[in-house]
């Protein structure tokens, strides 16, 4: 199965997180090895649930890093990292 994210893109994300001073020390179990989730997350936002779940509305696109020991998952908004709308995206 193909990876969703190419290695070069993961490398760019790692560099950006390092640049921002993100700690790779797990706040839950104390281990210090995180792996990058193999794909972006989109977190849909909506004002309520009266009309059920709404897909395709506003969302917060993120990349997640996952503790390789306990699975604790930390999400980082791509917009804040400056990683949205990259010109090399098809
Ligand atoms: Zn952990």
pLDDT, tens digit, 9 for 90 and up, residues 28-72: 999 999 999 999 999 999 999 898 888 888 999 999 999 999 999
For the ranges 6-10, 56-60, 71-75, the one whose mean pLDDT is highest? 71-75
Does residue 87 belong to any structural domain of this protein?
A: no
Distance 46 CA to ligand 1 centre (A): 30
User: How many structural domains is the chain composed of?
Assistant: 1
Does residue 51 belong to any structural domain of this protein?
A: no
Residues 6+ apart with CB under 8 A from 47: none
Q: Is 42 helix (H, G, I), strand (E, B) or coil?
A: strand
**Integer CA distances (angstroms), 55 to 49, 60, 68, in order:** 12, 12, 30
Does residue 50 belong to any structural domain of this protein?
A: no
Res 89: pLDDT: 45
Distance 36 CA to ligand 1 centre (A): 14
Residues 6+ apart with CB under 8 A from 32: 24, 25, 26
Res 90: pLDDT: 45
Residue 12 is part of which domain span? Answer: 7-45+56-81
Distance 3 CA to ligand 1 centre (A): 24
């Amino acid at each position: 199965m193909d990876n969703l994210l190419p290695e070069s893109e993961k490398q760019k994300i790692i560099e950006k997180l390092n640049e921002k001073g993100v700690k790779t020390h797990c706040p839950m179990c104390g281990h210090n090895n995180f792996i990058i989730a193999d794909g972006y997350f989109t977190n849909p936002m909506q004002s309520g649930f009266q009309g059920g779940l709404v897909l395709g509305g506003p969302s917060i696109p993120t990349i997640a890093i996952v503790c390789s020991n306990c699975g604790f998952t930390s999400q980082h908004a791509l917009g804040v990292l400056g990683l949205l709308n990259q010109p090399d995206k098809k």
